[in-house]
Structure 1
Amino acid sequence: MAISFDKALGVHPQTIAIRSQRAEILASNIANADTPGYKAKDIDFARAFKAAKSNQQSGNTMLRTNDKHLSGGTKLNSGVELFRNPNQTDTGDGNSVDIQVERNLYVQNALEYQASLQFLTGKFKGLKKALGGQGA
């Protein structure tokens, strides 16, 4: 009997991928806090998760950048990346990054990433135990 990793691991691989992508975006916001005209971005987690789930159910396909490449693989839908509505008034340079908000969101995202990673680790431990490797 074959093991379905999609069923065994659940949603955790998708949440880790989305949280990783969100960490990159938030880090970019922090890095560009003093860049004139830079607009803060974020990910709509619910929409990204829904897209990841539909990709999981319909089967994954790789993004092909050249006709000679083989097909297969997965890429997150970048359509879930949005510009954030600024909480502060314009400082005159057109930058919409609020550094405190970005740092708080980055820390929150890091904690949620760690939680997803711990859940995924637990799933792998359960699989290992089920396959008879209880001694490890």
Structure 2
Amino acid sequence: MDRLDRFFGVSGQALEVRSQRLAVLASNIANAATPGYRARDLDFAAVLADREADGRLPLVRTAAAHIDPGARPAEPALRYRRPVQGAMDGNSVELAVEQVQFAETALRYRTSLAFLDSRIGALKAAMRIE
């Protein structure tokens, strides 16, 4: 499996993180008219860096007061978005911004998927015995 991880590189993780970001953006769009709803976004670079760091830096808990090195926040890079113009009802969703972010992330998702598809095609071609 380690060889496959190296073969695909970060592309599989990138695809998963982009999928999570699409879900967050879709939630924002769905709640555009919900009073008090605060728009959120996923920091793609922070999540990917966090996943790449897993297993690379061995942390040791040397005192009982230290935070457990294996503990992770449930949503490490999920942040509230700052609106350019606030709404009277407290909703911070700016529909145009969310739609642009969703379209951009969907395009990047499809690009990652196409890259993975080409890597799988190359792997299948290498495994063919003729």
Cross-structure match for 1:100: 96
Where does structure 2 lack aligned partners over 5 or more consecutive residues? 58-72
Cross-structure match for 2:84: 87
2:115 to 99, 119, 131: 119
Describe the SS at the equivalent of 1:19. Answer: helix
Q: Give the number of aligned pairs.
A: 116
Question: Could you tell me how far apart the structure 1 residues matched to 2:56 and 2:109 are?
Answer: 23
Cross-structure match for 1:13: 12
Question: Could you tell me how far apart the structure 2 residues matched to 1:113 and 1:57 are?
Answer: 26
Written as runs of structure 1 = structure 2, the 5 A alignment for 1:55-94 is 55=54, 78-88=75-85, 90-94=86-90
Q: CA RMSD in A?
A: 2.2
Question: Could you tell me how far apart the structure 2 residues matched to 1:32 and 1:126 are?
Answer: 42
Cross-structure match for 2:50: 51
Describe the SS at the equivalent of 1:102. Answer: helix
Which aligned segments of 4 or more residues in structure 1 are displaced greater than 4 angstroms? none
Calculate the TM-score normalised by the size of structure 2: 0.81
Cross-structure match for 1:110: 106
1:62-121 per-position Cα deviation (integer Å, ceiling 9, x unaligned): xxxxxxxxxxxxxx9621111011111x22110000000000100000000000000000
Contact 1:6 1:56 (C-alpha < 8 Å) held by counterparts: no
Percent identity of equivalent pairs: 39
